[in-house]
Amino acid sequence: MINTVDNTLTFADGSYITRQQMELMFDHEFVANIFNFMVLLNNLQLNDTEVGLFAGVVLLQS
């Protein structure tokens, strides 16, 4: 889950990483693209089944 107010990415176990921490490890543009993608994905408001289907399609396409 992404929090656009705090600029954090929260993982399933509850741990989180800030955008600034990610920018220390990765390129600024890459991190910006990740956050933009996550915001767009969150805007779709997919349920668990739809996320699973989306992930399956992505895996099959690669």
pLDDT at 2: 85
Supply the DSSP string of 15-38, one letter for each residue: -EEEHHHHHHHS-HHHHHHHHHHH
Q: Rounded to an integer, what distance in angstroms lies between the CA atom of residue 27 and that of residue 56? A: 28
pTM: 0.73
26-59 pLDDT tens trace? 999 999 999 999 999 889 999 999 999 999 999 9
